[in-house]
Amino acid sequence: MDKYAGNSLTAGALRYRSESPKKAGGWLGSGSRQMETGIEFLLKLSAFIGILAIILISLFIFAQGVPLIFKIGWLDFIFSLKWSPSQGSYGIGAMLVGTLVLTISSLAWAVPLGISTAVFMAEIAPARIGSILGRMIELLAGIPSVVFGFFGLIIVVPFIRNYLGGNGMSVLAGAIILGIMILPTIISISRDSILAVPKEYKEGSLALGATHMQSIKGVILPAAKSGIITAVILGMGRAIGETMAVVMVTGNSTMIPGSMLDPLRTMTSNIVLEMGYAAGDHQAALFATGAVLFVFIVILNLVVSLSIKEGKNYAE
């Protein structure tokens, strides 16, 4: 929404936007004019800092990690299951599988629960309950990951150890905690996209004799599809990048897990666990792990911005 839209003075407002400071302060002395130009430059500079940060981040992480990836061969680095820094073996295959397994198993329960809660808030709950629930989900989103990890460590892990077997530090514990952590992302974005579906769609469906549930399933959800997909992808991004909570509950073994009760290690855990004492090639290998993670996340972000654009085209 443009702030000038729907305003009768749009043309004047647009001139304000594009006007150069020299023209704007016509009657002012040249000192203020210089000040205006100086401020405009400073503002542009601060906008540039974000771009600079992205450039520096990619530059430094790739510079630290990529040479090692080429030294041991990128296929070996990504697919080898042997991670043994003391013997000079750096393969992140098991961690890559760990990240994928954990992400998929947390999405497996958080996506259905999240979408159904989003539909509940947008369509079913009385307005008051919907808004209270919204506040609670904001609060859930604000809880730091280390607190989730702590909760997992003292409640979820002992529960699994006592009732399901194993030592409790497991894929399952990670999936439960990570699922809770990505719920707010999935719920709030899905809810917003359901609320954005034009009222006429639902009214038309109801007028044709469909029940409320049939309208939700047949009309509202399909119309909100691209927003819901965005919600899931963003949730996935958060799951892939999550570190502290995962480190605290998954046991961090470098083996590929054979069952939901086995421990695993993700790419993020690998970095935070070993960075404290790594040096030389070992440290470079951790940066290389970070580089792979970075590429994953950037690809997911691109998919999101593409799907948002597609959604907009669809809406037009």
The H-or-E segment that residue 90 falls in is strand 89-90
Q: Which is nearer to another protein, 142 or 258 (CB)?
A: 142
The H-or-E segment that residue 282 falls in is helix 280-315
- CA–CA dist 105, 163 (Å, integer): 20
Q: Which is nearer to another protein, 139 or 196 (CB)?
A: 139
The nearest distance, CB 245 to another protein, in angstroms, is: 9
Q: Which is nearer to another protein, 258 or 277 (CB)?
A: 277
Q: Which is nearer to another protein, 13 or 78 (CB)?
A: 13
- CA–CA dist 264, 99 (Å, integer): 9
Q: Which is nearer to another protein, 153 or 255 (CB)?
A: 153
- CA–CA dist 222, 194 (Å, integer): 10
The nearest distance, CB 285 to another protein, in angstroms, is: 12
The nearest distance, CB 2 to another protein, in angstroms, is: 8
The nearest distance, CB 96 to another protein, in angstroms, is: 15
Q: Which is nearer to another protein, 258 or 276 (CB)?
A: 276
The separation between the first and the last C-alpha atoms of the chain, rounded to the nearest angstrom, is 14
- CA–CA dist 210, 128 (Å, integer): 26
The nearest distance, CB 312 to another protein, in angstroms, is: 15
8 A C-beta contact, residue 95 and residue 85: no
Phi and psi at residue 237, to the nearest 5°: -60, -40
Residue that the structure tokens 């954990």 belong to: 102
Q: Which is nearer to another protein, 55 or 75 (CB)?
A: 55
The nearest distance, CB 21 to another protein, in angstroms, is: 6
Q: Which is nearer to another protein, 21 or 75 (CB)?
A: 21
Sign of the dihedral defined by the CA atoms of residues 123, 126, 131, 132, in that order: negative
DSSP per residue over 214-269, as a string?
Answer: HHIIIIIHHHTHHHHHHHHHHHHHHHHH--HHHHHHSB--SSPPSSTTS-B--HHH
For the beta carbon of residue 264, count every other beta carbon within 10 angstroms.
26
Phi and psi at residue 84, to the nearest 5°: -145, 80
The nearest distance, CB 11 to another protein, in angstroms, is: 11
The nearest distance, CB 80 to another protein, in angstroms, is: 21
CA angle, residues 229, 230, 231, in degrees to nearest 5:
90
